[in-house]
Amino acid sequence: MTTAGSLDSTAPAIGGQLATFWLDGDLYGVEVAHVQEVLKSQGLTRVPLAPAAVAGLINLRGQVVTAIELRERLGRPPRPEDTAAVVIVVRLHGEAVSLLVDAIADVVDVDPADFEAPPDTLAGAGRELIRGAFKLDGQLLLALDVHKAVSA
C-alpha cells in the first residue's frame, strides 16, 4: 500500500482553472469555481474562545463571514505584524468563508494529467489539507482542499 495510492483514491485529480495565492513563500491554488471575490485586508472582529485558525469575523456588505487564517491551518509561522493579509472569499455549500493569505497571484490553467500526489517533503498539519501538486515553470503549485481548510 502506497501513500500516493491512498491519497489518489480520496482526492481525485483536479484540472481547469485555479486561483493562486502566496502563503509563506509557497504557491497554493483553489478551484476558481469556489472563489467569490478577493479583497484587500479587512477589519476583523475577534471571536472569544474560537479555534486558533479562526482569525475572526468580517463584515462583507452586511454579511458576517468567518475568516480562516491559512497560515495557522497549514502549520506555518504567523504573518509578520507589519504585513496585511489578503482575503479570498470562497463559497461552499451556499456559505461564504474567507481565507487569509499573504498575496494573490494569477488564475492558472492546470491539466489533470499533471496532477500529482502531495510531495513527500510536505509534512505536518498542512499535508492533510493539500489535494496534490502541479509543476509549473520551476514552481510547485499546491492544490488546497478548500473544504478541509475551512472545517475545524
Cα torsion angle, 65, 42, 71, 33, sign: positive
The tens digit of pLDDT for each residue in 108-117 reads 999 888 888 8
Q: How many domains does the chain have?
A: 1
What single-letter DSSP state applies at residue 129? G
The tens digit of pLDDT for each residue in 30-83 reads 999 999 999 988 889 999 999 989 999 999 999 999 999 999 999 999 998 888
What CATH number does the domain containing 19 carry? 2.40.50.180
Rounded mean pLDDT of 94-111? 94
Rounded mean pLDDT of 123-146? 87
Q: What pLDDT shows up at residue 44? A: 92
Please give the C-alpha separations between residue 105 and each of 17, 53, 102, in angstroms, as whole numbers.
13, 22, 10
Q: Among candidates 147, 65, 76, which has minimal Cα distance to 98?
A: 65
Mean per-residue pLDDT of the chain: 86
Instruction: Please tell me the distance from the alpha carbon of residue 29 to that of residue 129, in angstroms, as a whole number.
Output: 12
Q: Among candidates 2, 16, 11, which has minimal Cα distance to 128?
A: 11
Contact 34, 18 (CB under 8 A): no
- pTM: predicted TM-score of the whole model, two decimal places: 0.85
The better pLDDT of the pair 137, 39 is held by: 39
Expressed as residue numbers, the domain containing 138 is 3-150
The better pLDDT of the pair 51, 11 is held by: 51
